Amino acid sequence: MGKTLQRFRKLRVTDAISQQELDVTEADWRTAQSQLDQAEQNLRDSRLVAAKDGVVLARYVSRYEEERVEQAEAVNAGREAVTVATDRYKEGKASYYEVLEAQQQLYPAENALSEIEAGRRLAIVQLYKALGGGWSLKDSEWADATARVSSSNPGSAGH
């Protein structure tokens, strides 16, 4: 405030600014300074909220990852059961009903895995946003990224 006020006082002396004009200018400056202080406080508050949101969202991502690993194991076990049932059927050691039963257990497990993975990815995007990151992938980049994730996802083998 000091330098700006001194500048205005010099202007008053050198340019014959009236005391009323100086008071208005000083009042405008104080209003602007108050608005700046409020904006800085809002920024600090929003950073604190974002940090708290980031911690919570990071926990969600971690929990989703744990669930994804467990569900991927269940899916892999279900796929193995389908393979074994199919092999037994081909060898004449079991009826086709056993194959169908194994598939009926596999498909809900795969569906649950895809729901967990969707939730995990959504939590990651929300985490990026909470930490101030943007989300600006073009459609072609999104398709490429999705393909890379799908090919590296242990639960997506064979699909």
Q: With respect to residue 126, please indicate whether it lies within any of the assigned structural domains.
A: yes
Give the residue numbers spanning the domain of 80.
27-133
Q: With respect to residue 10, please indicate whether it lies within any of the assigned structural domains.
A: no
Q: With respect to residue 37, please indicate whether it lies within any of the assigned structural domains.
A: yes
CA-closest candidate to residue 72, choices 112, 119, 122: 112
pLDDT at residue number 32: 72
pLDDT at residue number 151: 62
Whole-number Å distance between alpha carbons of 134 and 131: 9
pLDDT at residue number 158: 42
pLDDT at residue number 90: 96
Mean pLDDT by 10 residues, the chain (159 residues): 61 54 65 74 64 75 91 96 96 95 95 92 82 70 67 47
Q: Is the pTM of this model over 0.75?
A: no
And the tokens for 152? 């590296």
Domain count, the chain: 1
Instruction: Count the neighbouring beta carbons within 10 Å of the beta carbon of residue 142.
Output: 11
pLDDT at residue number 159: 41
